[in-house]
Structure 1
Amino acid sequence: MKKLSKILVFSIVFAIVYSCGTRKNTFVNRNFHALTTKYNVLFNGEQAFLKGLKEIEEKHEDNFWKRLPIEPITFNENTIEAPSFKPGTGFDDSEEEEESKPLSHFDKAEEKAVKAVQKHSMNIDGIERNGKIDEAYLLLGKARYYTQRFIPAVEALNYVISNYPKASLIYDTKIWRAKANIRLDNEKLAIETLNLLIELDKNEKSLTDTQRERAHTAMAMAYEKTDTIQKVIEHLALASRTFKNKEQSARNMFILGQIYSELDRRDSARMVFQKLADTRRAPRKYRIRANIELAKNTENDSASVLVLSRLKKLIRNTDNREFLNSLYYQAGVLEVGRNKIDNAIEYFNKSLRAKKNSDYQRTYAYEQLGNIAFDKQEYVLAGTYYDSVLGKVSKEFDTEKRIRRIRRKNKGLTTLRKYEETVKTNDSILKVVAMSDDERKEFFQEYIDKVKKEDEERRQQLLNAQNFGSSFGSTSLIGSNAKGGKWYFYNDQTIQFGKVEFQRVWGNRPLEDNWRLSDKDGSLIAEDDTTDSESEEEKVNPKYELATYLDAIPTKEEDITKLKEDRNDALYQLGLIYKEQFKNTELATSNFERLLSIEGHKQSDLAINYHLYQVYLNANDEEKAKKHKDIVLSQYPDSKFAQIIREPNVKLVEEKKTDEVLNRYKEIYIIYKLNKFEEALVEIDKFEPRVKDSNLIPKLALLKALCIGKCKDQESYKKALEFVSLSYSNTDAGKKAEEILEQLSKSKINPIKSP
């Protein structure tokens, strides 16, 4: 019996050893290696491959504002790296492997595929007897594809097609080879091979629905690279017909709708998006986005009410919280189309406050709010929103046409906001300057009382938070991160309050022994003397001191004069901006009329009256236009403005006078080139009033600005350039001034150029 057992054991061991060979074509050998390949090496490789795919899906973020890529992966050619293992790594346990960085999931899948081929291939007499080796080569090709090594991927896939034409996965292999060729810019070759595959399937019906979907998807990818948009539409429609791969089919359908929308075939786009939105098998993100795209392609008619109602229903569904930013935004767009501006503003603000959001999404909401403010002639607010757009946009989208348009639009608004702020600030200061001493004290005391009240309310809120934390410990109601217990230091809010309260009572104390000693002279601050500490803190706090504000009031006559001059200059510039850039008659006349009403300001009366004449003339207010026209003609009869009014169609050219002006300009320019900037500035000031109707006036103004830049501060230089830029915007001098201003904004160095 014992001998029989030994014989049996020996026979089993012999059978196992015999079946491990890859050179004998026996039933046992074939099945042993097929099973080992499938359930050991390939299983582990496929699991690693699936983990890699999941990792890609988690990292990939779609921008639904643009046409989606057909394959949800973005390859970056600059990051292509060779795998960190050498061929044969891990095949021989006795071989000492070199130290390297951890392998990616796709590298591991490739390693397992290579191992399956090397250890379990049964290529006997030129025929592969292991039916799972073609799967190993396919896994090898796919792993190399996702590590952006497309040429080696094609080689692996070609090996299967050449040597195993009857392999079970031959069609999948051909599709993957076509995809790799597309990535290598061999899209024509890919189209040819896929066409043969699809034509074969029409005759023999040999492809499964899943394979057919993949083939048409790959064809759409290839035609997209050749810009054959009609073929892309055709194959995307065929690829989304059977819906076997829910993710890819829904994606194909969504892209199809986007293409129709780009081609302005809105009826077709709405039909596709409606179908996708109603397809329960499609992933939620595509169904929600389809509803949003449906709204984008809906005209502002009765249909928009139904679409808006549909969006509101989606907003109320708590399962759609991650899409609220886009849902709110699109609802706002529909409300703008229906002229429900207040509702639209509310939706746009909700879109900005949505928890799950992206900076690119926010740029659209800020842009819409900016457009609404601009249409309401709230230019300062509009500029703030456009600033937010430019602040949120990334380098990737910085050159977009939309962003360039906003940047141009905001350029004038930035200058406008600066002047509006100057007028507001200087008016406030001058108002206080004009007050009596008692009025000033009363004014600032009210402000101090307001500040104290606000500080006390904030302090009370912190105290309430501390009491709340003490009562409930570290429960989730107060957002504590503690794991359990009711101890003080388990509560983040009470810790923060403690820090604030400590600094309020004790100030900033160094971490050292005897920290409570006030001046290190042994005098100890009493613990219970917090009331006195608080009152003392209030007395020494500058923002509670009346003298802090009274001392800041300008008293020197030159400072007050400078405030008035800056305010008046800002009013004039605002009038020009509203008149020339924004064509806003009301605000232009408001600033010009106010400047005329200011006593002691006569420097710009001629120009202001002329601009008001033009504004009222364009507004068909003949009575007011005549009033300012008469002022120009009667008080400044020899000015160029008067000549323009009298003879609007006559060119302002007098050859003799022009020659005199040109010669004098050349003389002053020579003085400037000799670096005698102050002397040139004096000569310009003398000569400028005599120049009434010359086309050299803009160049003279620019030369004056350049002289200011050489002998005065940068702020004065900028103001002079802005005057030239705004007053003579259509001339070469105005454009050059604009160029210099742009350079100044980019560099602190004054790039002063000759006119």
Structure 2
Amino acid sequence: MKYIKKTIFLLTVFAVILSCSTRKDTVVSRNFHAITTKYNVLFNGEEAFKKGIEEVNNNYNEDWFKQIPIEPIEFDEDKIIIPTMGPGAGFGSDTKEEAKELTTFERAEEKAVKAIQKHGMNINGIERNRQIDDAYLLLGKSRYYSQRFIPAIEAFNYVIANYPNANLIAETKIWRAKANIRIDNEETAIESMKLLLVIKDTLEADLPDEIKEQAHTAMAMAYVKSDSLQKAKKHLHLATRTLKNREQGARNLFVLGQIYSGENKKDSAVYIFNKLTKFRKAPYKYKIHANIELARNFSKDSSTTTLLERMQKLIKNRDNRPYLDELYYQTAVLHENNDSIKLAINNYNKSLRAKNGGDKQKTFTYENLGNLYFKKNEYLLASAFYDSVLQVSKDSLDLRIRRVKRKHKNLASLINFEKIVTTNDSIIRIASLPKEAQKTFFETHIEALKKADKEAAQLRLNQAAFGGSFGVNSLQSNNKGKWYFYNSQSLNFGKTEFQKIWGDRILEDDWRWSAKSRKNSLNTDSTQVVQKDLRYNLEYYLASIPTKTKTLDSLKTSRNAALYELGLIYKEQFKNPELAIQRLERVASLNPDIKLELPINWHLYQIYKSLGETQKSDKHKNLILTKYANTKFAQVILNPNKKIEEDVAVNEVEEKYKEVYYLFKENKFKETIAKIDEIVATIPNSELIPKFELLKAYAIGKYKNKQAYKIALEYVAVSYGNTEEGKKAKEIVKQLSK
């Protein structure tokens, strides 16, 4: 009896196994494989896919300064990873090592393949397992996110062809349309979505809201890809009517608001962003940036008080710490538009100091600060901020960054000339002082240096001493104590810093004096070595003061030329007549080279005339008409209605160029520069100006230093970049920079 029961049991088990074969169309077999597929293999695949989607949403690096994409994913052809499934996809690839190498989407694809291969019941051309269409849809979606769009479309097409009445057929068509968009086949995607929406809407069984949202989102993606923003807006509006998918719904609203903002439709943009801020289920990153966009799209006609109050409230919220750089920046922009410049600068600086601030945000902050100081005529500070933009930026091809780079280059020559003026003025002023006054001046300077060095050294020692651990057992742990002399690491660092600054000093009074002897490291009894620190040496400074008349005259000439160049830069490049007048009037009062007298008075005449100051302009006009009656300057003054380019023929300009070129060949470089300045002022519209300017740069390079030569070439390269001369100047600058 016992053996009969065992036999019956084994026969029953064998019969069940046979009845569950994928080749037998039975009720038991169909249900067994459907349940196993849904709650085992397919369930694990769906979980892996959901995890992958979550990673995409969390890890995608948004660029909030541009219109964000409708779908938060970037595909890169160079980074495609094709999963290898081994012989017979789905088999032979379940080892733990290989599983670790798979991404979440590749794991989802592996599970989908496994479901199809192990549980598919295609009997006589008909699939009997009702879960296989879900497996094919998962397979297509996983391939889509692995950037394998053609295989993904094949999987979607299989579902559409073999399961036309499936409840997921509409979703499959949407995913196929998205895959077509990714391979630049948006027209096919649009046609398929139109058929889906129109046909289903005319049938009794309408599409669910979730499917409609997905379809309209896919349509908007296709129209954005084809630059049909009006149609994209229409479908984004339709996609955001129900907001069933909170992540994609919030994103669609944000993109829609950005489109309106880009079209300068501020009211519509504000309406959309307000709607997003009130969408309770929206992810927080969209809500906070919607508030920032509301401030960005404010109208000057409306009061900014409410917006500023809102921004301050957001700044005080501790949850917004990751966004402080953006919040402070937008607050600063609002203050700047209200002409509250001090508050604007304060908030820009807070934006820069905010932790976790993004580099791109910093470039905008630095640029705005540079622009503010540029408007205030503080060009040195402006140049420093523009330089910070270039240091932080990682996108040298961006048009905005290239514009900042151009501004920075234009300021380079100005800063150099201002430096020459400041330095030469200081040297000339000190040289003109009595000996006792010179001595007092440098003694004060040396004391200030010593004090600064002492404070800096003490600061470094303090940082080293108090930079370690302050735990209870710190003395026993690595000998790091709270007191400086219990911390061996800090003590050794302090000794090194002391020796670097003061040397190896003998223990005696007044050891800080530079003239005091130092211990010989080899033999303490040997002759003491005296080493003087030139920075603290009064004799060194006094000896460096120029006394020769020729040297002082050279400094004055160089300063006067720099002042003249500054006047031209402020007048022509920066359109700042006030600063141009200051520089030109000052150089005129310093008895400059006689060759500068005419161009200085000509430029001052033009500036005062443009400002409507007739009395001052007449003064310079009369000087030109009296002393330089036969020059072109005088002819222009006497015949103001006659165009200069008509008065000066091309061949005459060419003759003038030959004249200055011969001066250059004769090594008369100063005369060449003065002559070019004189000629250029009379032919502002001539096509030959770049040739004159390049020749002037060559002349500067012959008798001045390399830096002055480089600045002169950069001016030609920036001002006349599209000409042959400008291109030539760029090439030389590149060679000099190597």
Does the 8 Å contact 1:677/1:707 carry over to 2? no
Mark the CA change 1:682 to 1:634 in structure 2 (over 3 Å): closer, same or farther: closer
Q: 2:494 — aligned with what?
A: 501
Tell me, in whole angstroms, the C-alpha distance in 1 between the residues paired with 2:469 and 2:733.
Answer: 55
Pair 1:438–1:668, CA change in 2 (3 A): closer
Amino acid paired to 1:80: I
Determine the structure 2 residue equivalent to 1:88. Answer: 88
CA distance in structure 2 between the aligned counterparts of 1:419 and 1:667, rounded to whole angstroms? 28
Amino acid at match of 2:71: E
The 2-side partners of 1:201 and 1:604 are apart by 84
Deviates more, 1:326-335 or 1:376-385: 376-385
Counterpart of 2:331 in 1: which secondary structure?
helix
Q: Deviations over 1:334-374 (max 9, x none)?
A: 11121111111111111122112222211221222122212
- 1: CA distance between counterparts of 2:109 and 2:436? 86
Separation of aligned partners in 2, 1:638 and 1:72: 72
Name stretches of at least 5 consecutive residues in structure 2 with no aligned partner. Answer: 502-517
The two structures have a TM-score, normalised by structure 1, of 0.83
**Which sits farther off after the overlay, 417-426 or 495-504?**
495-504
* Structure 1 residue matching 2:372: 3-state secondary structure: helix
Paired residue secondary structure (1:633): helix
CA distance in 2, matches of 1:566, 1:574: 12
Instruction: After TM superposition, give the deviation of residue 257 of structure 1 in Å.
Output: 0.9
Equivalent in the alignment of 2:515: none
Partners of 1:740 and 1:521 lie apart in 2 by: 59
1:114 paired to 2:113: yes
Q: Find out whether 1:182 has 2:181 as its counterpart.
A: yes
Task: Return the match for 1:447 from 422, 445, 448.
Answer: 445
For structure 1, which segment, 459-468 or 131-140, has the greater mean C-alpha deviation from structure 2 after superposition? Answer: 459-468
The alpha-carbon distance between structure 1 residues 176 and 612, as it changes in their structure 2 partners (threshold 3 A), is: same
Preserved contact between residue 114 and residue 136 of structure 1 (Cα < 8 Å): yes
Structure 1 residue 683 displacement after superposition: 10
Whether the 8 Å contact between 1:366 and 1:389 is mirrored in structure 2 is yes
Corresponding residue of 2:30:
30
Q: Spell out the pairing of 1:153-164 with structure 2 (5 A cutoff).
A: 153-164=152-163
* 2:633 matches 1:635: no
Q: Report the CA distance shift for 1:658/1:74 in structure 2 as closer, same or farther (over 3 A).
A: closer
Give per-residue Cα distances to partners, 1:412-456, cap 9 Å, x unaligned: 222212211221222223333333333333223323322332333
- The offset of 1:487, in angstroms, is 4.8
With over 3 angstroms needed to count, the CA separation of the structure-2 counterparts of 1:454 and 1:2, relative to structure 1, is farther
Cα distance in 1, alignment partners of residues 24 and 646 from structure 2? 110
Tell me the equivalent position of 1:593: 585
Q: 1:230 Cα deviation (Å)?
A: 2.4
1:511 is matched with none
1:274 is displaced (CA, Å) by 0.8
Alignment of 1:712-723 (within 5 A): 714-715=706-707, 717-718=709-710
Which residue matches 2:736?
748
SS for the counterpart of 1:604 is helix
Paired position in structure 2 for 1:138: 137
CA contact (8 A) 1:324 1:354 kept: yes
Which residues of 2 match residues 475-624 of structure 1 at below 5 A? 487-489=478-480, 497-507=490-500, 521=522, 541-555=533-547, 557-599=549-591, 601-624=593-616
Contact 1:721 1:737 in 2 (8 A): no
2:512 alignment counterpart: none
Q: Distance in 2 between matches of 1:458 and 1:623?
A: 55
Whole-angstrom distance in 2 between the partners of 1:655 and 1:373: 41
Equivalent residue, structure 1, for 2:49: 49
Q: Specify the code of the residue in structure 2 equivalent to 1:746.
A: K
Aligned to 2:244: 244
Which amino acid in structure 2 is aligned with residue 338 of structure 1?
A: N
Q: Does 1:428 align with 2:421?
A: no
Rounded to whole Å, the distance in 1 between the matches of 2:444 and 2:604 is 41
| CA apart distance, 1:114 | 1.3
More deviation, 32-41/349-358: 32-41
1:302: how far off?
4.2
CA distance in 2, matches of 1:171, 1:610: 78
Q: For residues 362-401 of structure 1, give each alpha carbon's deviation from its aligned partner in whole angstroms, at most 9, with x where no partner exists.
A: 1221222122212222222222222222333333x7332x
Instruction: Say whether the 8 Å CA contact 1:144–1:150 is kept in structure 2.
Output: yes
Q: What is the CA–CA distance in structure 2 between the aligned matches of 1:588 and 1:4, rounded to whole Å?
A: 116
Q: 1:688 to 1:668 in 2, by over 3 A?
A: closer
Distance 1:499 1:281, change over 3 A: farther
Q: Deviation string for 1:451-479 (max 9, x for gaps)? A: 3323333444455556656893289xxxx
The whole-number CA distance in structure 1 between the counterparts of 2:170 and 2:301 is 49
Q: TM-score, normalised by structure 2?
A: 0.85
CA distance in 2, matches of 1:690, 1:582: 21
Kindly indicate whether residue 287 of structure 2 is the aligned counterpart of residue 287 of structure 1.
yes
Q: Indicate the residue corresponding to 1:677 in structure 2.
A: 665
CA contact (8 A) 1:175 1:194 kept: yes
SS of corresponding position for 2:280 = coil
**What does 1:690-701 correspond to in 2, within 5 Å?**
none
Shift of 1:3: 3.2
Distance 2:91 2:331 in 1: 60
Contact residue 383 and residue 410 of structure 1 kept, 8 A: yes
Distance 1:218 1:570, change over 3 A: same
Structure 1 position 627, deviation (Å): 1.9
Q: 1:65 offset after TM fit, Å?
A: 1.2
User: Residue type matched to 1:386 in 2?
Assistant: Y
Distance change in 2, residues 1:156/1:437 (3 Å): same
Partner residue in 2 for 1:406? 404
Is the contact made by 1:250 and 1:282 (CA closer than 8 Å) also made in structure 2?
yes
Q: CA 1:423 to 1:368, structure 2 compared with 1: closer, same or farther past 3 Å?
A: same
How many aligned residue pairs are there?
Answer: 714
Within-5 A mapping of 1:111-510: 111-202=110-201, 203-395=203-395, 398-400=397-399, 402-462=400-460, 464=462, 472-473=470-471, 487-489=478-480, 497-507=490-500
What code does the residue aligned with 1:150 have?
A: F
Q: State the partner residue of 1:530.
A: none
SS at match of 1:747: helix
Q: Which moved more, 1:263-272 or 1:544-553?
A: 544-553
Q: Distance in 2 between matches of 1:660 and 1:257?
A: 60
1:479-525 deviations in whole A, cap 9, x for unaligned?
Answer: xxx9x9865449999687445303124559xxxxxxxx987747699
Comparing 688-697 with 294-303, greater Cα deviation is found at 688-697
